[in-house]
Amino acid sequence: PVSPESDYAKGEIEKAINSLEDDFRIPFKMHIEGYKYKEIADKLGLKIGTVKSRIFFCRQKLMLMLKDYSR
């Protein structure tokens, strides 16, 4: 069963992701939906290194925004 706390955490995570700028949010969301770096790069017309660095940056930023949830 899903606890109310995990529902709250999921909502907070989604809110944090949605607060990111499009340049970062879009590749990150595609990545967590299962797209490969190359697919994201091709679809968005970016270099693969740019995609990797933006996803890495998103992870760092989200960890800071959501540090209250890490146990």
Strongest mean pLDDT among 1-5, 20-24, 66-70: 20-24
Distance CA 13, CA 5 (A): 12
Mean pLDDT over 1-9 rounds to: 67
pLDDT bracket for residue 70 (50, 70, 90): low
Residues 8-64 pLDDT 10s: 678 888 999 999 999 999 999 999 999 999 999 999 999 999 999 999 999 999 989
| pTM for the model | 0.81
